[in-house]
Chain A
């Protein structure tokens, strides 16, 4: 397992962050329900949280998504924002906590940026949208916590990654181009929770992979493989961006041939 445990990014740091997020959601839930027991399933949100979320929604999101979150049109008839009924809390959590929503500027693709809402506010928004209609819920941490992943699971994760993800996100999760200026983003920094949610909901143009076609354990294996890609030492030396032969060619023509031609010039110059 030495290959998996290079410590570029400690799994504990991720776990800690996730714990914080949990406290945000779970704490309020515990207060409202009067129970301190941790739940194994996704926590259902409290009425206060839903109210809080509704308030935030009306302030920040309803212009585009409609006062009832059922979508809105612009004056010219194009969609300002799609309906959010049934998208589930996972979708809200993904879009808001990766900063993609609220939308900064329209374009071919909604870009990731610093989130505008705090974790609590995000949780409240998610709870509100989640309360409107059933939809994919924010996954519990044990679904995407890959500590203790076995080599078999890892190998399965690799196979599933190459079968379902590599075509857009590239063999090492570095991302790739799509049509008309769209692109599949790099996965090298993405949090496991967001990867899980993305597979579940299929944000923007990404197709979705519901649990019925890609089981939760498959998703966890894929996340485990993506993490292994980050942590595995680069056998063979400095990588050229993990983008394949194009960047290798650039290194050859600049560094490699550059060095040899420099020596050739040194050979040709007369000594003083």
Chain B
């Protein structure tokens, strides 16, 4: 059923275009369309020329915007023009030279007529009747069960997509006595290498070997840490449990680099405020106050790694992380 609330009147009278009444204007439009098509063809040819003559690493100035690689610019402009001009020509043609008298077409009825519907229902009932499913419910029941079960193997097949988490989310490779190395350059670090305000992005010793053996970067995605040195007087608190040896060493603290919100690496450290900001969602941790969250969506402090020095004076882990690093998860506890 359709509502027709009002009389919308008649179509407005068609106003002839210049090209309808003036043969000259029509000829002009024809030429314009043709020229647009020809220009497109030329642009295509130019594309091929540009492709052949422009080395892929040639650079050219882009006035006002420094310089760019010539190949991309020339290919893009010629290709863009070749395509755009075809479009412009076709549209211009349609607008100027093809009829612009609006046509009225009636809509077909939206719904089937009742007699067809009824006839269909009869056919359907005949089929159901002939199949006998109503009289033989055992067949229907067993078929439904079979179809349902047939889908299960498809689900089961996906089981080997990945291993079960086991303790992978709660353990890192950090353990007692492991040297802390500067990321990228892999130097060992002595406390005196660090001044107040020094930030080091660091990794556990031997991580390269672990990752090479595993053939992936998984360990780095959870073992990455940051070393920060601050004036011991400015440290409000760290995460050392009561009665334990201090987790920090002469004002040097080591925190996980993985944000406890959804896992972005951190590193936006402000040495005066001791704020550590995550660039992804702006969780902000106060490293002078046990890595506590002072702003943003993260709900957990940054896990601290207990550190000390070995007999040669290099910074080492006192023990592994006491809690899982990175984003929280259901069974994290």
Direct contact of A and B (CB under 8 A): yes
Q: Which residues of A contact B (CB under 8 A)?
A: 2-3, 6, 8, 159-160, 163-164, 167-168, 176, 178-180, 182, 184, 202, 204-210, 212-215, 218, 233-239, 263, 266-267, 270-272
CB neighbours of A160 from chain B (8 A): 184-185
A163 touches B183 (CB 8 A): yes
A233 touches B273 (CB 8 A): no
Count of chain B residues near A, Cβ 8 A: 52
CB neighbours of A168 from chain B (8 A): 267-268
CB neighbours of B31 from chain A (8 A): none
CB neighbours of B199 from chain A (8 A): 164, 207-209
Query: Taking the complex as formed, is B260 at the interface, i.e. its CB lies under 8 A from any CB of chain A?
Result: no
CB neighbours of A263 from chain B (8 A): 87, 91
- What is the distance, in angstroms, from B27's C-beta to the closest C-beta of chain A? 15
B282-332 with Cβ < 8 A to chain A: 282, 284, 295
CB neighbours of B273 from chain A (8 A): 179-180, 205
A-B contact pairs, 22 of them (CB 8 A): A2-B57, A6-B59, A6-B67, A167-B265, A176-B268, A176-B279, A178-B270, A178-B277, A179-B273, A180-B273, A206-B271, A207-B269, A208-B199, A210-B198, A213-B198, A215-B185, A234-B66, A235-B69, A237-B68, A267-B95, A270-B100, A271-B96
* A267 (CB) vs chain B CBs: closest residue: B91
Q: For the complex, give the distance between the alpha carbons of A164 and B266 in Å.
A: 11
CB neighbours of B91 from chain A (8 A): 263, 266-267
A212 touches B69 (CB 8 A): no
Query: Taking the complex as formed, is B275 at the interface, i.e. its CB lies under 8 A from any CB of chain A?
Result: yes
Interface 0/1 of B102-130, CB less than 8 Å to A: 00000000000000000000000000000
* B71 (CB) vs chain A CBs: closest residue: A235
Additional A-B contacts beyond A164-B201, A270-B100 (18; CB < 8 A): A160-B185, A163-B184, A163-B201, A168-B267, A176-B268, A179-B277, A207-B269, A208-B271, A209-B199, A210-B194, A212-B190, A213-B189, A213-B194, A234-B65, A234-B67, A236-B68, A238-B62, A271-B100
* B102 (CB) vs chain A CBs: closest residue: A270
- What is the distance, in angstroms, from A224's C-beta to the closest C-beta of chain B? 15
Tell which of A159, A164, A233 has the most Cβ of chain B within 10 Å.
Answer: A233
* A135 (CB) vs chain B CBs: closest residue: B195
CB neighbours of B72 from chain A (8 A): 235-237
- What is the distance, in angstroms, from B301's C-beta to the closest C-beta of chain A? 17
B284 touches A237 (CB 8 A): no
CB neighbours of B43 from chain A (8 A): none
* A8 (CB) vs chain B CBs: closest residue: B66
Interface 0/1 of B170-189, CB less than 8 Å to A: 00000000000011110101
Tell which of A3, A184, A207 has the most Cβ of chain B within 10 Å.
Answer: A207
* B227 (CB) vs chain A CBs: closest residue: A213
